[in-house]
Structure 1
Amino acid sequence: MHDAVLLPEAVAAVLGVKSLPKTSSVQASGIYVDATFGRGGHSRLLLSQLSDDAKLIVFDKDPTAITVAQELAAKDSRVHVIHESFATLTTSLAALNITQVDGLMADLGISSPQIDDGSRGFSFMRDGVVDMRMDTSRGQSVGQWLEKVDDETLANVLYEFGEERHSRRIARAIKQMNRYESTLELAEVIKVAHPNWQRGKHPATQSFQAMRIFINNELGDVDSFLAQSIAILKAGGQLAVISFHSLEDRRIKQFLQRHSKGQYPEDEKLPMPPKRPRYFSKPKRVGPSKDETSQNPRARSAWLRMATRTDTIYHDNEK
């Protein structure tokens, strides 16, 4: 099972209300998107707050998650399932003749069922094939990639996507392995190669995170998803995104800050346009409560960032 993190907070945010009513339903109409269905925790609560004429479009890469989503769709005609990354947001919705939505939410990263299923290869605590693909129906596994990648590229991946300070030493040790068929064997090689690790934290944590993020293009998909949210959200529509590590959270924070202040990226080519657009309201951030973290320790690192899509406002470039 997967305990959806920041569940009522995220659903309230995507509906644009401060909190969900305790004894009734918001009965919101319109079109909403759950960009990371997982096991459907957020979707189910959101459906309970939607009117009968509302629509919920759910995305997921994971075939197992899609099976669960299709079971839900068979029981609730408001649900439409898309087996794709949320990076295909605009084109996938256009195929349904949807150009704008009222709310958009995403719960980034990996789910508990994916970690707990050793055969998926995400866990360094359970043995399995070195796979780590979110979508097992396409693309190469981490094991296949490790067979071909050189030391330097691997080290760069471990450093960039796992913030692993000992990336070069670990990369050399990994490349000395004869095969990449067991996650426990890979984790042990990383453990032996790691000169120092934080107490209470497995030495393979950051390396496994890095390889998973890389093989699934997770950060690239997040950037694409956020960029598409500008056009896909109606004025007054809500964006709510949950992240679990700094690489994701930093991207969301900077995106919302930039587009709520009317700023362009620092690398934007000059000359600057005469006006700067502002697309979102001032963003807000919410973390899990003490009760939630005590019941679900995996929620400890979660942050929910939210903002409202505004009518586009243009600012002069003069400071």
Structure 2
Amino acid sequence: MTDVQTSEQKNLSKSEFSHDTVLLYETVAAVLGEKSLDADTEKKGGIFVDATFGRGGHSKLLLEYLSDEATLFVFDKDPEAIAVANALTASDKRVQVIHDSFANITACLNAKGVSQVDGIMADLGVSSPQLDDGSRGFSFMRDGAIDMRMDTSRGQSVGEWLETVDEETLANVLYDFGEERHSRRIARAIKQMERYTSTLELAEVIKQAHPKWQKGKHPATQSFQAMRIFINNELGDIDSFLQQSLPLLAPKANLAVISFHSLEDRRIKQFLQRHSRGQYPEDEHLPMPPVRPRYFSKPKRIAPSKAEVAVNNRSRSAWLRVATRTDTPYNTDTI
């Protein structure tokens, strides 16, 4: 590891709730098209996007390898993340901040006069500061309002949703977005609660209703995940973001996406595979061009190192998937 890396790692946590950036060097190297990073890595110009700024770990390192003429657009739905991003842009004019979901990436960039970019990275899911701050409602280990919104400035909280949702719909959400096998039993118990104001109370009800606990895993894990994904439309946003990356990425530009659970990773994997293989007519002997061209090179999957998992347990379930955009012009008729 270089001296540059050591210095950066020491300065990642700058807020009350610390955040250890997962797959930091692997992601930045991937989006730049480098095998690794060191002090001699050539600085690059162009336009890059951090689609999920969070607390800025990936962005801050990426900026070290961008030239003075480069531009970095950073997106986030979370007002607290946007506050950190605004502080960064005050000291680095290469950074432009967009308070919005990456599901709106095309419209937001077009509004800035940008139609293509030279690299996009995204770190999906909930961040450590969001989990560690009980008032955000993401954690079943800390008490707070049952909120779970990524963007606290708009939309319905999970607590408000639980007040009105019917038992069957709740059970379906727990099953579809949390892969919770005991969803109907848990939904029944949740709907018998008198109020929805405390995350610890909700977690305890789920715990008591859960008939079989997985060793080393809190029984409310999958249910909390499901409600969070649902209320924030996370899977729908991911699908929209991935599809928009095709025309946005310039030829030879890289897409690098980190996921933390199977529902996310499966979508990314299938999307990249689908658009890296192309699609040919059923009769492979016919001398015809593919029905759908290859828009990505063969994708790669990168796991965190054993050393990273040892110091940051939250990285253990992470996967980084990377693919390079081909020079094939995008055609909506082939998608």
TM range (shorter): over 0.9
CA contact (8 A) 2:179 2:222 kept: yes
Matching residue of 1:180: 196
- Distance in 2, matches of 1:71 and 1:223, equals 30
CA shift, 1:25, in A, is 3.9
**In the alignment, which residue of structure 2 is the partner of 1:114?**
130
Q: Is the CA contact (8 Å cut-off) linking 1:103 and 1:239 kept in structure 2?
A: yes
Residue equivalent to 1:77: 93
For residues 21-58 of structure 1, give each alpha carbon's deviation from its aligned partner in whole angstroms, at most 9, with x where no partner exists.
Answer: 2x234301000000000000000000000000000000
Query: What is the number of equivalent residue pairs in this alignment?
Result: 306
- Say if 1:155 and 1:168, in contact at 8 Å, map to a contact too: yes
**Secondary structure at the counterpart of residue 53 of structure 2:** coil
Does residue 302 in structure 1 map to residue 308 in structure 2?
A: no
Instruction: Give the conservation status (yes or no) of the 8 Å contact 2:235–2:264.
Output: yes
Q: Which residue of the partner structure matches residue 285 of structure 1?
A: 301
Aligned residues of 1:25 and 1:48 also touching (Cα < 8 A): no
Q: Say if 1:251 and 1:59 are closer, same or farther in 2 by CA, change over 3 A.
A: same
Secondary structure, aligned partner of 2:214: coil
Q: Is the 8 A contact 2:52 2:124 kept in 1?
A: yes
The residue aligned with 2:264 is: 248
Shift of 1:313: 7.8
SS of the residue aligned with 2:292?
A: strand
Check whether the contact 1:233–1:309 (CA below 8 A) recurs between aligned residues: yes
Deviation, structure 1 residue 263: 3.3
Structure 1, gaps ≥5 residues long: 265-272, 315-319
In 2, the alpha carbon distance for the partners of 1:246 and 1:221 equals 16
Cα distance in 1, alignment partners of residues 244 and 105 from structure 2:
7
Q: 1:218 aligns with which of 208, 226, 234?
A: 234
Q: Give the AA of the match of 2:21.
A: A
Q: TM-score, normalised by structure 1?
A: 0.94
In structure 1, distance between residues paired with 2:152 and 2:329: 43
2:278 to 259, 262, 271: 262
Tell me by how many angstroms 1:275 deviates: 2.6
Q: How does 1:47-62 map to 2 (within 5 A)?
A: 47-62=63-78
CA shift, 1:87, in A, is 0.2
Whether contact under 8 Å (1:106, 1:240) holds in the other structure is: yes
What do the CA deviations read for 1:89-142 (whole angstroms, capped 9, x no partner)?
A: 000000100000000000000000000000000000000000000000000000
Per the alignment, in what secondary structure is the counterpart of residue 14 of structure 1?
helix
Relative to its length, the structure with more strand (as a share) is 1
TM-score, normalised relative to structure 2: 0.90
Residue in structure 2 matched with residue 5 of structure 1 by the alignment? 22
Residues 277, 313 of structure 1: 8 Å contact kept: no
AA of the residue aligned to 2:258? I
- 8 Å contact kept, 1:152–1:168: yes
The counterpart of 2:184, out of the listed 148, 168, 189, is 168
Aligned partner letter, 1:296: N
The residue aligned with 1:86 is 102
Residue 18 in structure 1 maps to residue 35 in structure 2: yes
Name the structure 1 match of 2:251: 235
Q: Distance in 1 between matches of 2:30 and 2:172?
A: 37
Moved over 3 A (4+): none
For residues 298 and 182 of structure 2, the distance between their equivalents in structure 1, rounded to whole angstroms, comes to 38
Q: Deviations over 1:35-83 (max 9, x none)?
A: 0000000000000000000000000000000000000000000000000
Q: Structure 2 regions of 5+ residues with no counterpart?
A: 1-17, 281-288, 331-335
Is contact 2:299–2:321 with CA below 8 Å preserved after alignment?
A: yes
**Distance of 2:272 and 2:229 partners within structure 1:** 22
Counting aligned pairs with the same residue, the percent is: 76
| Local SS of the residue matching 2:77 | coil
How big is the shift at 1:200?
1.1
Contact 2:279 2:290 in 1 (8 A): no
Are 2:279 and 2:291, in contact at CA under 8 Å, matched by a contact in 1?
A: no
Distance 2:329 2:145 in 1: 51
RMSD: 1.4
1:39 pairs, out of 55, 58, 62, with 55
Letter in 2 for 1:209: Q
Name the CA distance, whole Å, in 1 between partners of 2:279 and 2:195: 48
Residue 270 (structure 1) aligns with: none
Provide, for residues 146-194 of structure 1, a one-character-per-residue CA deviation record: whole Å limited to 9, x for no partner: 0010000000000000000000000000000011000000000000000
In the aligned structure 1, how far is the partner of 2:226 from the partner of 2:109?
30
